[in-house]
Amino acid sequence: MRPGIFHLGRCFSIALGGLLVGCSDPDPIQQYTVARQRPDDTSPPASRATATPMTPRASEDSLPFTFARPEGWKDAPLRMFQIANFTIGESPNSATFSVSTSGGGLMDNVNRWRRQVGLSDVSESEINADAKAIPVDGVEAKYFVVEGGERSILGVIAQRDGTQWFLKADGPKSLVQQEREKFETFVKSIRFK
């Protein structure tokens, strides 16, 4: 036998043995499917509810503040960053009233609210000119009334012990306007523990 053929045969045997050993892995490949979450900040509150994970509401005793609940406001599941969430009306014509904490600057937050109701962004000086004052637990907070064609947002941004608090009413323009006085009373009733 010639040395080249013997060497080729030996290489073939080693490769075949490695292939057989490598293919005998008893652990099957596992495949997982994970649903992708895509919150849509420009849709009405009722349709956003299906896109954002929701958790059960905390008991009022465990909240870091007390408040006077307006008549007709019902508990609603919490969305991301929310501490409390209420609703009034029947979907798709319902409005939500929430308390949350989050970051971001004044301009970014107010312009996001403007986009949510179909308005364009404005400058920081225009935002500051539009800001009204409302007390939250004895401290002046910034209050914005953002009205689009069909949707309105009432938004309050308050600072408390290094935390930025957002109090927000969001829904059909007519319902939010109807609930505006109740929302303002709710905001003024908050007392931090």
Mean pLDDT (the chain) is 80
Token pair listed for 171: 């829904």
How do residues 66-106 score in pLDDT, each as one tens digit? 999 999 999 999 988 899 999 999 888 999 999 999 878 89
3-state secondary structure of 114: helix
How do residues 2-14 score in pLDDT, each as one tens digit? 555 555 556 555 5
Measure the CA–CA gap between 76 and 163, rounded to whole angstroms. 23
How do residues 99-158 score in pLDDT, each as one tens digit? 999 878 899 999 999 999 999 999 999 999 999 999 999 999 999 999 999 999 999 999
Domains and CATH numbers, the chain: 45-192 (2.60.120.1690)
Measure the CA–CA gap between 182 and 85, rounded to whole angstroms. 15
**How many C-beta atoms lie closer than 10 Å to residue 159's C-beta?**
13
Chain centroid to CA 162: 21
pTM above 0.85, yes or no: no
Instruction: Tell me what pLDDT residue 13 has.
Output: 56
Measure the CA–CA gap between 179 and 171, rounded to whole angstroms. 10
pLDDT band at 17 (very low <50, low <70, confident <90, very high): low
Spatial neighbors of 183 by CB under 8 A, at least 6 apart, are 70, 97, 154, 167, 169, 176
Residue 37 has pLDDT above 70, yes or no: no
